[in-house]
Amino acid sequence: MRITKKVLKHKHTQSPTSVVTGGAGFLGSHLIDLLLARGHQVICIDNCVTGTVDNIAHLGGRNDFKYIQQDITEFIFLDVPVDYIWHFASPASPIDYLELPIQTLKVGSLGTHKALGLAKNKKARFLLASTSEIYGDPLVHPQNEDYWGNVNPIGPRGCYDEAKRFSEALTMAYHREHKVDTRIVRIFNTYGPRMRLNDGRVVPTLISQALKHKPLTVFGDGSQTRSFCYVSDLIEGIYRLIMCPTHLPVNIGNPDEMTVLEFAREINRVTGACSKIQFKPLPQDDPRQRRPDIQRAKKLLRWQPQVSLSEGLAKTITYFRDRI
């Protein structure tokens, strides 16, 4: 008689099972691809408020992948053993969390609470996808994991910044009180295929404007800095983190820093556009500098970015060209 995988009682007599919340989003869908490639059974939970099933449509029909459409702030019931929980559910671009401030706070608090409760119940390892936004408009540069941040809790970005800061605190509370095996990754600016054209972040905004031969929008005088990490580099770093025995937060991002104005000119060059640059007022609490210190990732994970900006942009632009 053939025993189905659901009947198996003991972990590790089969391939590991991973639950990815927010798995239909930009980062979550790339994570799922990597997990499946490395032999995981994957359960994706997403209510598609900002994600889309288009990002996981290529996985339809696989017997090692299951999609559950559900709000992560509601009770999660799974009748199978779970080894890893990757909590990626959250609006992540300014255009989304400014439009959905309460949902953003709820997924960071209630959603993280439900995901951690599942990890406790299943005795699963838990990874929180946190963000460089917990550093706010930083007074320390570059930002290392020991910096506590400079965040305006009542500003328009506070709903996202404080939701992630709370989710980090809750994750550590579950680690200390309930002995849940936790990881925290602080994700810096990441780009690549499956970003939404209209998600308001600098990479898709400038690429779509350039491809449409429209003026490139730069806020302020463009002297604020960012660093851009290609999605495959980020996902590899996150995978290494959950396999590494550390409970401390780890920055994952690309330390190559450039001004937004320099980046806009690079987009013009790579796309072959001749778009003019249009300057607009700087949004409130927009960080002036953003660059990760990745010494901890280098030391603990033996990780650093491999994909150059020109290579990553070429892949991303190809993806966007097909959708404009």
119 in any annotated domain:
yes
- 160 among known catalytic residues: yes
Q: Domain for residue 224, yes or no? A: no
Q: Say what the pLDDT of residue 287 is.
A: 76
Residue 78 covered by a domain: yes
Phi–psi pair at 110, nearest 5 degrees: -65, -40
- pLDDT for 81 equals 97
Instruction: Provide the b/e sequence for 55-68 (b: ≥16 CB within 10 Å).
Output: bbeebeeeeebbbb
Q: What pLDDT is attached to residue 207?
A: 95
Residue 260 falls within a domain, yes or no? no
Instruction: Kindly state the helix (H) or strand (E) to which residue 206 belongs, with its residue range.
Output: helix 202-211
Residues of the chain with pLDDT under 70: 1-13, 285
pLDDT of residue 123: 98
pLDDT at 168: 98
In a domain, 261, yes or no: no
Domain assignment of residue 162, given as a range: 15-194+230-255+291-306
In a domain, residue 204? The reply is no
- Put simply, whether the predicted model's pTM sits higher than 0.85 gets the answer yes
Handedness of CA 86, 118, 99, 250 (dihedral sign): negative
Residue 94 lies in a domain: yes
- CATH number for the domain that contains residue 45: 3.40.50.720
Note whether residue 247 is domain-resident.
yes
The one catalytic residue in 97, 160, 174, 230 is 160
Domain count, the chain: 1
Model pLDDT, residue 3? 32
